Amino acid sequence: MDDLNKELASTTWRKSTLSGGDGGECVEVARLSGGHIGVRDSKNPTGPALLFAPSGWAAFVSGVKSGEFDS
């Protein structure tokens, strides 16, 4: 777990350019070792992060692209 915490602290996080940088509600994502993806709240960068296995992240992205989560 210590190695993972170090990786989360030192990795490059990315925020969508569509967020506009207005301080709104945004998430940041990062590619981690083993193909895992980290997701965190951009307003709380030292807070907890969610971790996704490559297959879980691929399924989520596919769902977003297909409109599965649209209201």
- Would you say residue 52 lies in a domain? yes
> Is position 44 within any domain?
yes
Q: How far apart are CA 20 and CA 34, in angstroms?
A: 30
Range of the domain at 52: 27-57
Weakly modelled stretches of the chain, pLDDT under 50: none
* Rounded CA separation 46/52 (Å): 18
* Closest C-alpha to 35, from 67, 9, 7: 7
Residue 9 lies in a domain: no
Decide if 34 is inside a domain. yes
**C-beta neighbour count of 65 within 10 angstroms:** 8
41 domain residue, yes or no: yes
User: Quick one: how many helices (H) and strands (E) in the chain?
Assistant: 2, 4
Check residue 1 and give its pLDDT: 65
**Position 31 in a domain:** yes
What pLDDT score does 29 carry?
A: 94
Q: Is residue 70 situated within a structural domain?
A: no
Number of independent structural domains in the chain:
1
